[in-house]
Amino acid sequence: MGARIPARHRAVITGAGGGIGAAIARRLAPGADALILVGRRAAPLQALRAELPVPVQLVCGDLTEAATLAAIESAARAAGGVNLLVNNAGVSGFHSFETQPADAIRAMLDTNLLAPMLLTRQLLPLLRQAPSAQIVNIGSVLGALGFPGFAAYGASKAGLAGFSQALRRELSDTGVEVRHFAPRATRTGINSEAVSAMNGELKTAEDTPEAVAAEFIAFLEGAAWQRTLGAGERFFVLLNKLLPGLPDGAIRKQLPVIRKHLPK
């Protein structure tokens, strides 16, 4: 298949208050008829809306709450429907799994996996009414390449990748495409100072949110159902599938640096 013909989007973007979500909204706006921006804090959403040359509705709330999902559906109906859902909202947590608080683990799974599943379910009837529609779940390279300190986060993102693949197949005879887009390390507020320091010491490649958003738009207009950013990261993901012992050994050598930066 070749590149798709760009559509005029009526899009829902979660996690739009900053980072990758805000950068995607800025990139999408010129080709959109309406945007629904979702986030926890009103002020960043309001500031972003003031920048954008397109009708924008804001939904401020917690995606793990049914009332927020219902408010997003209402906004989508008010916009005349929706043909793009970008499940971008997420939380991270760099921590030794043995001592990571149980509440933090639950919050990660609820926000990164359960919330996008339930929002997708809420909006599917509207998405199916569009002539064609896309659901794009924003994952992480850590969902395909397990890394110490990110056991719970990686599990949540691996689950999102599995959900994306299964739902893609379930909806393959409809006009709704389900796709998966996995950034590598990105310089956003989701990363703690400890993660930034560790990435620097390990010389981990990092992208800006703007660079990720540019890649996202290219992906959106292309035909592939999934994409992982970074040639080196894609190589290690493939190696991890075929010969997992090699990444095991490489990452074990990094453990002293990783443990030095783990929260005490």
Looking at 153, 163, 181, 236, which residue is catalytic? 153
Q: What is the pTM of this model?
A: 0.94
* Percent of the chain whose predicted confidence (pLDDT) is above 90: 94
Number of domains in the chain: 1
| Residue 4 covered by a domain | no
| Residue 86 covered by a domain | yes
Low-confidence spans in the chain with pLDDT less than 50: 1-3
The pLDDT, as a whole number, for residue 1 is 43
The pLDDT, as a whole number, for residue 2 is 47
Q: What is the pLDDT of residues 82-135, one digit of tens each?
A: 999 999 999 999 999 999 999 999 999 999 999 999 999 999 999 999 999 999
| Residue 3 covered by a domain | no
| Residue 64 covered by a domain | yes
Q: Per the structure block, which two tokens stand in for 261?
A: 């930066």
Instruction: For strands 84-87 and 226-228, give the pairing.
Output: unpaired
> Does 73 qualify as catalytic in the annotation?
no
User: In which domain, by residue range, is 138 found?
Assistant: 9-261
Q: Note whether 237 and 141 are within 8 A (CB).
A: yes
Q: What is the pLDDT of residues 48-58, one digit of tens each?
A: 999 999 999 99
CATH number of the domain at 170, please.
3.40.50.720
| Residue 2 covered by a domain | no
- Beta strands across the sheet bearing 32-39: 56-60, 32-39, 9-14, 84-87, 133-138, 176-182, 226-228
